[in-house]
Amino acid sequence: AAMAHGGPAAAVPLQRGLARILLASGDRPAAIEAYRGILNVEPDSASDRVALAEIYAVDDPQRAISELRKVLERDIHHAPAYRLLASFYNRLGDIDRASRVLTALDLLGFAEEADRVTSQRLRAVRQHSPYRRTLPPEHRARYLLTTAAREPMGEVFAAFAEELSSVVPLPSLGTNMMPLQAVGDQRLLDLAAQIGAMYQTEAEVFVSEKVPGFAAVTAFPRRLIVIDRVLLRESEAALRFLLGYAHEAIRGGYAALLQLGARQRRELGMLLRTMISPDGGELNGFAGDLVNAANEEQIHVLEQHAGTRDLDPGGWVDGMLALAKRAGLLAADDFAAAIWMVARLSGENLPSHDATVALGSVLGGPDLVRFYLSDDYQQLRDILTAPVP
């Protein structure tokens, strides 16, 4: 009757009541079907999906985990889902992933004392595996790339990376710049070599003073990473984040995007939009020069995406920056250190690492949280830590 008068949505409260009655009576399969019916109508209902996960958890914790991750895909601020997710990973003996979930909960500002105690206990028994392998192009493409890198704007930028980077002013490299080898910081030398090898990318690393934003990175005309001397005091994990962030941006050819101001964002976005979907079908100015001088591979990419509409240059740039952050987080394997370094690179003047609590989603963005908890992150960890024959 409810459906007849108000459609499927009107029947949801009755269906929810039925699901609870069925569960209380011990008919779990029927309760599962009832909750599935609710979620077919209201897929964004976090409370119903959590309830379904708790039923699955009785004998299928892996399926329960799948449901909880759907909750966090829609809303990274759903604290109860984190606690359940951590407990289910723990039940399966996956200490690494349980620990990651509780770390994210803390950095988002939702952790309670019991969560912190559990997190400390898990960290105490966690066996950290060092990275032993490099990240080949096919695994980078499959597990690390954001959607932005695969979108028309991402593929066109990649095809014309050197030419398009030339329209962005080179970042200031600070003062008193010295090659890293001359600085005498063996720790940073070793880290730069490790992360460069991991991302299969060679770059010249320098230490300088008064570097705007504490770091400058270029992919063209030279592959440079310039680090402000004040960062030499940072933790190993924080430096690993910075080096992963920089090496990935150089590898992908998009280092110029790391230092874009608002005006440069707009200008680059307009240039890409013109190259992909020219007004009136004619190209002129710098866009015309680029297309006229394009090689066969570049022409092929342009033809693939010609006329694409509804482009979002701002969202694309954000997605590319998220990719660099993903690489930094993977290199560090430390969410707190990643958020701290993002804060420093963003110009945030935080008094201590404790000040990053509750800023995880603000500084890292929802993408970084989801990536840290994802199967892709775990897959990358497995690839990089696999024993070398």
> Tens digits of per-residue pLDDT, 187-234?
999 999 999 999 999 999 999 999 999 999 999 999 999 999 999 999
What integer is the mean pLDDT of 16-32? Answer: 92
What percentage of the chain carries pLDDT values higher than 70? 93
Asked if residue 370 has pLDDT above 50, the reply is yes
What percentage of the chain carries pLDDT values higher than 90? 80
Asked if residue 361 has pLDDT above 60, the reply is no
pLDDT of residue 358: 54
CA angle 323, 325, 353 (to 5 degrees): 165
What integer is the mean pLDDT of 298-327? Answer: 94
One-letter identity of residue 353? H
Percentage helix, strand, coil for the chain under 3-state DSSP, each rounded to 5: 70, 5, 25
Scanning the structure block, which residue is given the tokens 């394009």?
294
CB-based burial, 109-130: b 16+ in 10 Å, e otherwise: ebbeeebeebbeebeeeeeeee
The mean pLDDT of the chain is 92
Closest listed residue to residue 317, CA positions, set 179, 162, 153:
153
Which tens digit of pLDDT belongs to each residue from 153-189?
999 999 999 999 999 999 999 999 999 999 999 999 9
The reply to whether the predicted model has a pTM over 0.85 is yes
Asked if residue 316 has pLDDT above 60, the reply is yes
**Cis? peptide before 221, omega within 30° of 0:** yes
* Res. 349 pLDDT band, cuts 50 70 90: confident
Strand extents, DSSP E, the chain: 175-179, 204-209, 215-218, 224-228
* Res. 13 pLDDT band, cuts 50 70 90: confident
Which tens digit of pLDDT belongs to each residue from 281-290?
667 789 999 9
Asked if residue 92 has pLDDT above 70, the reply is yes
Q: Are 102 and 119 spatial neighbours (Cβ–Cβ below 8 Å)?
A: yes
What's the DSSP call for residue 350?
-
* Res. 278 pLDDT band, cuts 50 70 90: confident
